A and B are shown apart, each in its own frame.
Chain A
Amino acid sequence: MTLVKDSVMTSLESVKDPEIDTVSVIDLGMVEDVSFEDGHVSVKMLPTFMGCPALEIIQKNVEEALYKVEGVDSVEVKFINNPPWTSDRITEQGHVRLREFGIAPPPTHSDSGEWHVDCPYCGSTYTTMENIFGPTACRSILYCKGCKNPFEAMKPVSTIM
């Protein structure tokens, strides 16, 4: 039983964000609960942003990955809204992998509302905000004055906002 559970977790590790293929759903903190009983796996997931069109693809990919695990007969993947997903759910490993992809991890939200974002390419702190809204709901567009590259950062979201 523990063996199957381990395989289930490993298999979830293999499900990547469809748009950021270095980062898994575990890295993003989207998996809230996994239960396994008599061959049935039930996964509760948290949507990152509500309008995110990738959610259905992620759900399908999680289901497909879990059906491949030996000992799993049936799978249920459900999105829930409580607790809400916040950007501090992204794991340390998630931060590393986001940078690998060229996306800065979410800055911590300061009281002044200012973001401190280092360039994911060269590490420079000399960066400017170009557009809070980016190519997807969860990302913003920034520019590094150090290495002169545009880059993206994950938007910080938290319940205190």
Chain B
Amino acid sequence: MKTVEEAKQDASYKSALTELLYQLADDDFIVAYRGSEWLGLAPHIEEDVAFSSISQDTMGHATMFYQLLEELGEGDADHLAHGRTPAERKNAIILEEVNGPGHYLKEPRYDWAFAVVRHYFYTLAKKIRMESVKQSSYEPLQHVAVKVNMELYYHHMHWKTWFMQLTGTQGEARERMLTAVETVLEDFGGVLTLGPKEDEITKHGLIEGEEFQRKRWLQEIKPIFESLNIEMPKALGMKRGNGRAGEHTEDLDSAIDTLTEVYRQDPAATW
């Protein structure tokens, strides 16, 4: 098990570790941002409270991962969150996708089915990753994982409830949910991959390999899909590319542009 100092002295270890931390941080950061865009637009007031609370927690998790990077000398956490270009980001493409047509401030035609499916599938994948990094070779990451996992319990329960109820019904709700499942799965391989540096990441015992994570994810989703009479996915694709390799869509460009607007005005400001 390695401490901050030990990790800093081992160049190959540090490079694999920072790669994984950027993936964990960037995933949470962008999915929390997309979640926050739903504030005021969720189906009912209770959901507004719940979804914004979940997004706030998730942004807190991103902050913790950025702080772990800061400790390793990668730079100030605020800068890592706001100052990096889209091409430098490692998040999965499905997490950067807009919530739907329209704009937050102008005629948002956001798709609740897509939100439920994306957040449920992602939370499940995150749970599997956190359980895995609880045994990570990097001690500070282990500690953060234990903490994240406790909060994730509620997020998972929340999205699972929505998913079961909307998909388990008839008519438009089920149809829209099934369409969303198809859309999300086409790119969901991007969440479950560790990217081009997978071998280095697993070699150093930082997290279990992506094949294992895919299997676990499918194993967890199987009883849910079966109970709802949904066909199991034939593939978990990366239709639009691999975000871990820096491949992204315009949706990320516009998101980064919007969310860094205040930061760029005065990067030294305290907030």
Contacts and interface: CB of A to CB of B under 8 A. Distances in A.
Interface of A: 47, 49-53, 81-82, 84-86, 130-137, 141, 155, 157-159, 161
B60 A133 contact: no
Nearest to A52: B60
Given A50-B151, A51-B61, A157-B151, A84 B146 contact: yes
B237 interface: no
Interface in B141-172: 143-144, 146-151, 153-154, 157-158
B60 A155 contact: no
B53 interface: yes
Given A133-B49, A137-B56, A159-B150, A50 B158 contact: no
Interface string B35-58: 000000000001001100110111
Contacts of B147: 47, 50, 81, 84-85
A47 B49 CA distance: 21
B128 to A, nearest CB: 15
A49 to B, nearest CB: 6
Nearest to B54: A133
Which residue, B46, B49, B53, B143, has most C-beta atoms of chain A within 10 A?
B53
Contacts of A137: 53, 56-57, 60, 151
A133 B55 CA distance: 11
B63 interface: yes
A133 B61 contact: no
B50 A161 contact: no
A50 B61 contact: yes
Contacts of B60: 49-52, 137
Given A50-B64, A157-B150, A158-B150, A133 B143 contact: no
B271 to A, nearest CB: 10
Interface residues of B, number: 26
A50 B147 CA distance: 8
Given A50-B64, A51-B56, A132-B154, 9 more contacts: A50-B57, A50-B147, A51-B59, A51-B63, A131-B46, A137-B53, A141-B49, A155-B154, A157-B151
B83 interface: no
A50 B32 CA distance: 13
Contacts of B57: 49-51, 137
B140 interface: yes
B154 A133 contact: yes
A130 B64 contact: no
Which residue, B56, B143, B146, has most C-beta atoms of chain A within 10 A?
B56
A133 B151 CA distance: 11
A158 B46 CA distance: 24
B70 to A, nearest CB: 14
A47 B61 CA distance: 12
Nearest to B134: A159
A121 to B, nearest CB: 21
Given A50-B148, A131-B46, A81 B153 contact: no
A130 B46 CA distance: 8
A81 B146 CA distance: 9
B56 to A, nearest CB: 4
Contacts of A133: 46, 49-50, 53-54, 154, 158
